[in-house]
Structure 1
Amino acid sequence: MKTIPSPDDVLAFEALARCGSFTAAAELLGCTKSMVSLRLKALEKQLGAVLVLRTTRRLALTEAGQRLLPHAQALQQSLLQMQPAVDSAQCAVEGPLVVSAYVSVSQLLSPILADLAREQPGLRLRLEVNNRLQDPIADVLDFCVRSRQVHDEALVARPLGWVQEALYATPDYLAAQGWPQTPDALAAHRLIVDGAGLTLCRGEELRPLPLASPLLDCNLYQNNLTLTLQGRGIGALPDFLAQDALAAGQLRRVLPDWYSDRWPVFLVHPYRQPMPRKYQVFLDFVLPRLRAALQPAP
C-alpha cells in the first residue's frame, strides 16, 4: 500500500499548475524554485507518474497531472478554509457547553445557567448533577464544580469561595423544644446530619459531639433541608442552602458562634489557551455570581 503523498508536495504541484512557471509558483509559496522542483520530483516519484512536462517556454500537465489537479485544488481550498473554521469556533458564542456540579451546589448554579441561556441563546447549556468526582477530560465536560481539593495539575482551578455548614431549626421547633445555648445542650435535641458524629468549631476551638441516635443520617442536603423546614429537628446545612429560608424567617441559626464544617469550592476545566470565546463568556457570567453566593475565604 502506497503512503499518502505529502500535502506540501501536492500544494507545490497545484501552485505550479496554477501559475504556469517555477518562478511564479516559488513566489506564491514563498520558497525557492529549486524547492518547488524538489517537491514536484518527490510527488512524481511517490505517485509513480510524470505529472508535468517542461520545455524551455512552457509547462504542460500530463494526463496523470490533469487527473491529479482537481484533487490538489480541493486540498488547497480545504486548507484555505481551515483558519476561518477554527476562528468561527473560537469566536462564536454558540454550541454545546456541558457543566457538572454536585447536588447541593447545582441549586445555586442552575438559575445562573438559566439566566446565561436567556442572555446567550446560541449556547446549548447542559447541567449534569451528581456527587461523583468527575474528570472533565475523561467525562467530556467543559466545566465542573469540585469541593475541598483539586488533585490534578492538568486542570485550571478557579476558586469560587467557601461553603460553611451550620445548625438551623424552625422557630416552631425551637419554641417547643427550647433553644440550645451550648454544644452540650444538643444532646437533648433531634439532629438531622450527614455522618455519625458532629464536630462544632469556633475559632480554634473544636467540640466533637458523638451522636448515638440522630434523627436522620443522610448525605443529601436537600432532604435534610426539607426535614428541617418541617420542624423535625435541628439540621446541619450549608449556609447557601439555608439562606432563603433564613431570610424569610422560616429558619433560625442555632448556636450562631459555631459552625459544623467549612470547605472551599472550585470551578475547574481543562487547560486551554487560547480559550474559546464561549468559555470566556461563561466564566465572565458565572464566576462573579457564584462567588457572591458563597462565603469569602476565612
Structure 2
Amino acid sequence: MKTNHPPSPDALLAFDALARHGSFTAAADSLGCAKSRVSQLVKQLELELGTVLVLRNTRRVALTEAGQRLAIHARQLREMLDRVRGDVGNVQDCVEGPLVISSASAFAQFLLVPILSELSNQYPGLEMQLQVENRLQDPVAEGLDFCVRTRNVYDDGLVAKPLGFMRETVYASPGYLAQAPRLEHPEDLCLHRVLYDSSKAPSETVEWALEKDGVYVRMPVRPVLSCNQYSPLVSGAVAGCGLALLPHYVANSFLATGQLVPVLPGWSHDCWPAFLVYPYRHPLPRKNEVFIQHVVPRLRALLAAEPQTA
C-alpha cells in the first residue's frame, strides 16, 4: 500500500547497493548485512511507493522502469552521505576555524594573549575569539570552547585541567617607598596608602589578610583607590600611588624594569587554583586538542615561575 511518508534512507541505500551489484547476495555483502535484510528493505520500498521496483528470478535481478528512476535518487543519496562524512571528517581533523575562549581580564592580558598570539602564528587558519569576563561562565550554556576558571569548577559535564596556583603579594614603586613610612611588618600597613581590589568579598572592614609560615594576620587598610580590575591597580602602584596586592604574573614585567619592587617578603594573600575548563566530548576536534597541547603547559610554566627581579 502506497504511503505519503518519505522512503527510509536505509531502504534507499539497500536499493542502491542492489542496483549497483545486481544481486541480493552481493548487495548484502557490500552493506555487511544479511541477504534477507536487503530483501526486506526493498519490499518495504515497493510497498511505500506502491510500485514494483525489481524483477526477480533465480539468476539475476532486473530493475523496472520505476526502479531505474529510483536508482538515480538512491545513488544521489549515497553520494551525498559520502560527502557529509568527508566534510565532517575534515572539520574534525583540521586545525582551523573558530575557537571561543573566555578568561578574566588580567589573566587574558598578562598571560593568555601572548600565548594565543604564538598559537595563531603556528596555525593561521584558527579564528580565536577571546571573551574577557570576570564572572563565572558556563561553557556549555554560553557556547564556549574553553574558559579559564578559578576556584569553583565542579561540574560533571566539564573537563577541568589544573593550571597551577595564583597568589597575591604586596608591591610598590621605589618612588613611593622612598617617601613612605617604614614597612617591615603587616602591622605597619595602617601607616600606608593602599590600592584595593574591590572584587574581594565585601565586609564591614576593608582589610588585607596575609600569611607567612603559617602565621595569619588581618590588617585594616586605608584605600586611596579601589578597583575591581588588576590593570588600574598595577598602574597606580607604578605611578607611586600606594601599595598593591598583585599576582606575580601581573607584576613581573614591572619588576623586571624596576618600576615595582616586592615588599613584606614572605607575606602573601589568598592562594587559589586556576583551571582550563571545557565541555566533555569524545573525540575532541583536532583544533581543540592542539589548543590544549599548546596552552596548558605554557600556562603551567608561567604560573609556577618565581617572581622576576630587576
TM-score tier (shorter): over 0.9
Alignment deviations for residues 236-266 of structure 1 (CA, whole Å, 9 cap, x no partner): 1111100111121111111011112211110
Q: Structure 1 residue 207 and structure 2 residue 217: aligned?
A: yes
Q: What one-letter code is carried by the residue in structure 1 that aligns with 2:32? A: G
State the partner residue of 2:42.
Answer: 40
Once the two structures are TM-superposed, the CA of residue 272 in structure 1 deviates from its matched residue by: 2.1
Q: TM-score by structure 1 length?
A: 0.93
The 5 A counterparts of 1:88-103 are 88-103=90-105
Q: Which residue of 158, 162, 173 maps to 2:161?
A: 158
State the partner residue of 2:26.
Answer: 24
Q: TM-score by structure 2 length?
A: 0.89
Greater Cα offset, 220-229 or 198-207: 198-207
State the partner residue of 1:276.
Answer: 285
State the partner residue of 1:61.
Answer: 63
Q: In the alignment, is the contact (CA less than 8 A) between 2:160 and 2:276 conserved in 1?
A: yes
State the partner residue of 1:76.
Answer: 78
Q: What one-letter code is carried by the residue in structure 2 that aligns with 1:116? A: L
Q: What one-letter code is carried by the residue in structure 2 that aligns with 1:268? A: V
CA distance, structure 2, for counterparts of residue 190 and residue 3 of structure 1: 78
Once the two structures are TM-superposed, the CA of residue 3 in structure 1 deviates from its matched residue by: 3.2
Q: Structure 1 residue 145 and structure 2 residue 148: aligned?
A: yes
Greater Cα offset, 19-28 or 221-230: 19-28
How high is the sequence identity, in percent, across the aligned residues?
Answer: 51
CA distance, structure 2, for counterparts of residue 102 and residue 178 of structure 1: 34
Q: Which residue of 110, 116, 119 maps to 1:116?
A: 119
Q: In the alignment, is the contact (CA less than 8 A) between 2:181 and 2:191 conserved in 1?
A: no
Alignment deviations for residues 213-244 of structure 1 (CA, whole Å, 9 cap, x no partner): 41122111101011111100111111110011
CA distance, structure 1, for counterparts of residue 152 and residue 298 of structure 2: 21
Q: Structure 1 residue 290 and structure 2 residue 299: aligned?
A: yes
SS in 2 for 1:165: strand
Greater Cα offset, 52-61 or 175-184: 52-61
Once the two structures are TM-superposed, the CA of residue 58 in structure 1 deviates from its matched residue by: 4.0
CA distance, structure 1, for counterparts of residue 106 and residue 195 of structure 2: 16
SS in 1 for 2:223: coil
CA distance, structure 2, for counterparts of residue 98 and residue 144 of structure 1: 8
Q: In the alignment, is the contact (CA less than 8 A) between 2:159 and 2:279 conserved in 1?
A: yes
CA distance, structure 1, for counterparts of residue 154 and residue 59 of structure 2: 68
Alignment deviations for residues 166-217 of structure 1 (CA, whole Å, 9 cap, x no partner): 1110001001013311111100101011143211111322111123x41122
Stretches of structure 1 that go unaligned for 5 or more consecutive residues are: none
CA distance, structure 2, for counterparts of residue 175 and residue 235 of structure 1: 16
Q: Which residue of 178, 183, 192 maps to 1:175?
A: 178
CA distance, structure 2, for counterparts of residue 48 and residue 116 of structure 1: 59
Q: Paired residues, what number?
A: 295
Q: Structure 1 residue 222 and structure 2 residue 225: aligned?
A: no
State the partner residue of 2:207.
Answer: 197
Q: Which residue of 117, 134, 144 maps to 1:131?
A: 134
